[in-house]
Amino acid sequence: MDVTVLGRAACSRVRHDGGTPSAPAAQRQGRPLYALVDCNSFYVSCERVFRPDLVRRPVVVLSNNDGCIIARSAEAKALGIPMGAPWFKVRRHAESAGVTVFSSNYALYGDMSSRVMRVLERFCPDVHVYSIDEAFMRLDSLIMPPGMSPERYAACLRREVYRRTGIPVSVGLGCTKTLAKLANRLSKQQNAGARAMVPAAFRYAGVFNFGAVTDPDVMDALLETLDVTDVWGVGARHAGRLRTWGIRTARALRDAPDDRVRRYMSVTGLHTVLELRGISCLPLDDAPPSRRSVVSSRSFGTLVTHKEHMLEAVTAYMTRAAEKLRREQLEAHCVGVMISTPRHGDGPRYADSAQVQLAVPTSHTPQLIVRARALLESIWRDGYRYQKAGVMLSGLESAVSRQVSMLPALQGTGRGLERGRRLMAAADAVNARFGRGTLEYAAAGLGRPWSMKQEHLSPRYTSDWKKLPLVR
């Protein structure tokens, strides 16, 4: 059975209210079918893979510097621990309730993420990795085996991801990306009531397909259960304005007047509304344009008052940013540095940034470090307690197809340039083989009193053999 047939038949029942003409029949032919695969409480799930004793127990993961909560297990949510809450405010409550806490371990999460994505790619060639824990897929081009519905296919995929990685995922399906995102929300456990509206034959755990909803009244009822902020692209600001128009649910937003949406939420908002009506506006985006900037910035573990320490931090951040640049075979035309004191609290505030254009783009770490340190000298002011610094590389272009300068003097001698590239490649190879930070720049400091707080860091189970727990 071809999935396109199923997807089209189901999706064409989506109502088109609100004055917009429905898509012409010709356009409806070959409607897309999107899946959104989302890892459940991803960071928590990653920690649990190596700590099975934490399954069914409350767990949270903190942001960099152990600042605020960025992931919670279902049990932690049930305890009323809010997302994004500053850790110092909820710490007592959480600890007394027996919550296990982790500092974020991006080496682990990044590695687990790529394992999950590799499994998805075995199921479908059209995968677009949207974030560390989410991916869109286009299923309409697949030729399904006989008797295989999209729901069932998604359920198989879900089982396979869990079997191969230990990460539980949820899958939402719909004829637009926005509907697939919403379907994903309905696929989660806490929406069992809404899922029950779908005929049992289309029901699979952890999967929800809007395409299986053929009754417009049921569709209305389902969208009515979803808050307008559940819709992808509607944040707190827009939700506030929408509330003043009496729009509180996904259903009401779908039926909102186009001109008003266009005026106050720009074309982006209009796309969202059209997508809710089943008119696809956002492509899969499988080959996204290359990035425009690289930023590396961090808050300090303790406030910085010495310029020496700030210079070390800027050096360390630039080292990371340049590595990222080279990994993507890019070079930068422009270097920027920013520093700031805390946003909260009542100490004297200061923030500034500076940028410089380079005559010749580069990804050579020592050159970039020299520029960044000079920029810092220009914006540094004594007497402040700094909380954060960052570096930015922009004006990016491909290192492989770079335009050659007309001025040989600026281009650098061919041999020197080549030597620099080889040196960077060798340093990157060593760090890839033996772990980040094996080769470092002395200017980044040794003591690093400014480095971020990570009091609850788990081992790098998947990227360091020595950290793998022994199987007894």
Partner DNA sequence: TCTGGGGTCCTAGGACCC
**Residues lying near DNA in the complex (CB under 7 A):** 63-65, 67-68, 70, 84, 86, 88, 130-134, 181, 231-239, 266-268, 289, 291-299, 303, 324, 342, 344-345, 387-388, 390, 452
Core vs surface per residue 150-163: b (16+ CB within 10 A) or e: bbbbbbebbeebbe
3-class DSSP state for residue 71?
A: strand
Q: How far is the CB of 66 from DNA (least distance, A)?
A: 8
Distance CA 444, CA 323 (A): 15
Strands of 100-103's sheet in order across: 69-72, 59-62, 100-103
Residues 385 and 381: their CA atoms lie apart, in Å, by 10
Residue closer to DNA, measured from CB, 215 or 455: 455
Question: Is the CB of 182 or the CB of 311 nearer to DNA?
Answer: 182
Dihedral angle of Cα 179, 181, 185, 187, to the nearest 10 degrees: 80
Residue (141 or 191) nearer to DNA, CB: 191
The nearest distance, CB 179 to DNA, in angstroms, is: 14
In the complex with DNA, the residue whose CB is nearer, 215 or 227, is 227
Closest approach of DNA to the CB of residue 365, in Å:
16
**Sign of the C-alpha dihedral computed for residues 135, 74, 106 and 307 taken in this order:** positive
Element (H, E) at 153: helix 150-165
If the CB atoms of residues 32 and 336 are measured against DNA, the closer one turns out to be 336
- Least Å distance, CB 390 to DNA, is 5
Q: Judged by CB, which is closer to DNA: 252, or 303?
A: 303
Q: How far is the CB of 342 from DNA (least distance, A)?
A: 5
Is 387 within 8 Å of 340 (Cβ atoms)? yes
First to last CA, the chain: 47
Rg (CA), the chain: 25
CB of 340 to DNA, least distance (A): 10
Sign of the torsion angle spanned by Cα atoms 160, 162, 167, 169: positive
Min separation Cβ 138 and DNA, Å:
18
Going by C-alpha positions, the residue among 9, 102, 97, 12 that lies closest to residue 50 is: 102
Nearer to DNA, 132 or 156 (CB): 132
Q: Shortest gap between Cβ of 249 and DNA (angstroms)?
A: 15
Give the 3-state DSSP-derived string for 251-307, with helices as H, strands as E and coil as C: HHHHCCCHHHHHHHHHHHHHHHHHHHCCCCCCCCCCCCCCCCEEEEEEEEEEEECCH
Nearer to DNA, 230 or 440 (CB): 230
The bridge status of strand 127-131 relative to strand 34-39 is unpaired
